[in-house]
Chain A
Amino acid sequence: MLGSIRSTFAGDTGTAIFSGLGIAALVWIVYLGIQNPDALFKTLVIGVADGSIFALIALGYTMVYGIIELINFAHGDIFTLGAFLAVPIFGFFGVTGTVAFSPAILAILIFTAIVVMTLNGLINITIERIAYRPLRNAPRLAPLITAIGMSFILEGAMFLWKGPFHVIFPDLLPNTRVSLGIYDVGVKDIFVVVSAIVLVTLLSVFIARTKLGKAMRATAQDRQAAQLMGINIDRTIAATFFIGAALAGAGGIIYGLYFNSVSFDLGFSAGLVAFTAAVFGGIGNIQGAALGGLIIGIIRALNERYLSGSWSDVVIFGILILVLVVRPTGLLGMRVPEK
């Protein structure tokens, strides 16, 4: 009987509802474009830039969920931690406030990014070791609750460190705009999108080509069989947490460079939005998470420009519920939620 309900909701009807809504949204966007192409273009640029950051966070969610089926609630705060860790490192090189862009600054930026990504990864591995690994065979609720606890601990640590204030992030990137035919785009927007594309591409190649990537895919598919094939499960899972946190850390730096201000509780809502993106794209699916991040970013930007900013979270969570109900496998889904 459950089966019949499932097929009425999630089968072709679900897909039909889903694609119907998608087409309606596209028609609306085209209509907006005809009305005022300039405003639409600006909105889309904001959406794509925002969405790239969400995509970077969503990758961590989707990788961890893919491999150990845990919603890592602490991941959003790992993202914030990336931005928080970068500020003192920039400060060490004397980079604070608004700084003119130069090759030296670029070198510092790359160095900082590498240090932050490594630190973030190591912290996430430690979290996994302490809070998730001992509970790997416990009922699902147990690691979920420690994940929420870890999220509070990270938020609490950052709160303790910087207090309830917004932390000023150095403004390194030029505020100039580059002309693209009729329209122009900010250098910052280009930076955000390009770095996200580079990181996602690197990750895809890593997962598809390297031995460790292969081990990750095998572990995600069937942990026991992978173990029997001689894969070190613990190390593979730790590597997944490392990579997820490194990407989130990069996302944190990119966010900081784009908005020039971060606060300790940023990760909570950003994490939820990114998780929505991961579910939207099909959780467990790398490309899906990237695509989901972009789409959610665009939806948010459109909502803020044309509807109302204060409803944007309601819209996002409404979408999340709708996706889970009518098409739980997401856009490019791999995993079926029934486990």
Chain B
Amino acid sequence: MSSSRARLRSWTRNPNAVVYALLLGGALLFPAVSSFATGTNTLVGLVADAGVWVLLAIGLNVVVGFAGLLDLGYAAFFAIGAYTYALFASDQLGSSPIHHSFHMPFWLMLFVAMLVAATFGAILGFPTLRLRGDYLAIVTLGFGEIVPRVFHNMDAWTGGVNAIGGIDPPTLPVCLTGPWSFGNDLAIKTGADCNFSTSDPTAYYVLMVLLIAGSVILVSNLQKSRLGRAWMAVREDEVAASAMGVNTVNIKLLAFAIGAAFSGFGGAFYGAKLSLVSPDNFNFIVSITVLVMVVLGGMGNIPGVILGSLAIYFIEFKFLIDLPGNAVAVANAVGLSSLNPSNGDWPGLNDFVQRLNFLVLGLILVVMMLLRPQGILPSRVRAEELRKGVSDQAVSDVAAT
């Protein structure tokens, strides 16, 4: 009896276990609570979108947090995953030089996109093996800039700036309708009735929760595995790791490939949910946002990274988007409605607040790094390093830290 109580106590004292429990409970209760409270499913859809970023952050955490390889072009793999699904699940290739469109099932393409992204991860990883720190960051940045531009320029295949639209939603072979799906009768349906619908994002939400849960289990097992320990060794001291018999080349390639695999998942889901993939969705700011999520949450610590990505997602895609409207409402309420129209150099309150976006993101980055560089929920090792500070040795190199 007492041993189980001791175990319970050790769980409640472990912040990671608490966060996992809260996240799981929240994920299960959220759709019901939010639909009941707001009367719509908008928030559920928003969280499903946030899930894409959680997947990206989990993947980038493998590269940056576990293996210590700074990747500034992670959006490239996201783009590759999204385009892989978009090309083979829409009419796009019908107007390409091969004149034949494909409509592959989502469930297959989810894994194909993952494999393609992982392959590109390894391809990018290969030439960068000898580079460390900043130089690695720059090569990945270059790759991250090249990939969306290639998708942009190869308009014969990808539609270029016109983007790929009309992407197939995921579909199930059999599904059960009932009162829960907008008051339908209880029936077993097949075919187009079982497409994931854009009007009710709950199906996407469930799929996303499953994807994230699977990824978390996978990644935390990886972290504890031989490979995870090898990543840590390479991160701490590459030369020493190599001397201890760690095959640093394979280890780094695997980090890139596995990290990229998750963004392949995320990309395929993103394309299916949005039904539209455009090269503008994968620019530098996406890579930076994911990196910020990882760093803010606590590099190397999976629950921290999940928290960080949810926090940043809601700041960037909910708080800052709603802010102009809210600011106007507040101004009207307190009698400052004269601020609202534009006047000479003053663009009007709505536009002014809209323009704050960049500034706020920048301030978050700087203030966060100055005040709490270890993140919200740091891994213990990293917190210790940052608290004590490291001297100007090889260890202080981000790639080796």
Contact = CB atoms under 8 A, between A and B. Distances in A.
A5 interface: yes
A6 interface: yes
Interface string B116-149: 0000000000011111111101110111011001
B349 to A, nearest CB: 13
Interface stretch (B54-62, B191-199, B386-394): B386-394
A78 to B, nearest CB: 14
Interface string B389-401: 1111010111101
Given A145-B369, A149-B365, A156 B355 contact: yes
Contacts of A24: none
A134 interface: yes
A338 B134 CA distance: 10
Interface string A1-35: 11001100110000000000000000000000000
A330 B232 CA distance: 31
Interface string A214-255: 000000000110000000000000000000000000000000
Contacts of A131: 366, 369-370
A320 B352 CA distance: 37
A5 B288 contact: no
Q: Is the interface of A mostly helix, strand, loop or mixed?
A: helix
B132 A314 contact: no
Interface stretch (B12-20, B78-86, B87-95, B356-364): B356-364
A338 B365 CA distance: 27
Interface stretch (A136-144, A168-176, A185-193, A294-302): A136-144
A146 B370 CA distance: 8
Contacts of A180: none
B275 interface: no
B359 A160 contact: yes
A224 B120 CA distance: 42
A290 to B, nearest CB: 20
A142 B249 contact: no
Contact of B129 (A5, A142, A149, A224): A5
A287 B366 CA distance: 32
Interface in A267-322: 268, 272, 275-276, 279, 308, 310-311, 313-314, 317-318, 320-321
B70 A153 contact: no
A337 B386 CA distance: 24
Interface string B270-289: 00000000000000100010
A259 interface: no
- The CB with the most chain A CB atoms within 10 A, among B248, B291, B362, is that of B362
Contacts of A211: none
A145 B370 CA distance: 10
A145 B372 CA distance: 13
Interface string B320-361: 000000000000000000000000000100011001111111
Contact of A137 (B150, B355, B392): B392
A10 B356 contact: no
A250 B131 CA distance: 33
Nearest to A153: B362
Contacts, number: 173
B153 interface: yes
Contacts of A314: 146, 149-150, 153
Contact of B131 (A146, A149, A151, A337): A337
B242 interface: yes
Contacts of A71: 134, 137-138
Nearest to B132: A338
Interface string A63-76: 00100010100000
Interface residues of B, number: 62
B288 A337 contact: no
Contact of A275 (B138, B249, B352): B138
B135 A151 contact: no
Contact of B355 (A140, A159, A318): A159
Contacts of A268: 284
Contacts of A1: 242, 248-249
Interface in A44-84: 65, 69, 71
B292 interface: yes
Given A9-B130, A134-B370, A153-B366, A139 B386 contact: yes
A178 interface: no
Given A159-B355, A163-B351, A321-B127, A137 B370 contact: no
Contacts of B366: 130-131, 146, 149-150, 153
Interface of B: 64, 70, 127-135, 137-139, 141-143, 145-146, 149-150, 152-153, 238, 242, 248-249, 284, 288, 291-292, 295, 347, 351-352, 355-366, 369-370, 373, 385-386, 389-392, 394, 396-399, 401
Given A139-B396, A141-B70, A144-B137, 10 more contacts: A5-B129, A71-B138, A140-B396, A144-B134, A145-B291, A145-B369, A156-B361, A308-B153, A314-B146, A339-B397
28 contacts: A69-B134, A71-B138, A131-B366, A131-B370, A138-B396, A139-B385, A139-B397, A140-B70, A141-B64, A143-B369, A145-B292, A145-B295, A145-B369, A146-B369, A149-B361, A149-B362, A150-B362, A156-B361, A163-B347, A163-B355, A272-B141, A279-B138, A310-B152, A314-B150, A321-B142, A337-B131, A338-B132, A339-B394
Q: Which 5 A-B pairs have the closest CB atoms?
A: A149-B365, A152-B362, A156-B359, A156-B358, A153-B362
Interface of A: 1-2, 5-6, 9-10, 65, 69, 71, 130-131, 134-135, 137-146, 148-157, 159-160, 163, 223-224, 268, 272, 275-276, 279, 308, 310-311, 313-314, 317-318, 320-321, 324-325, 328, 337-339
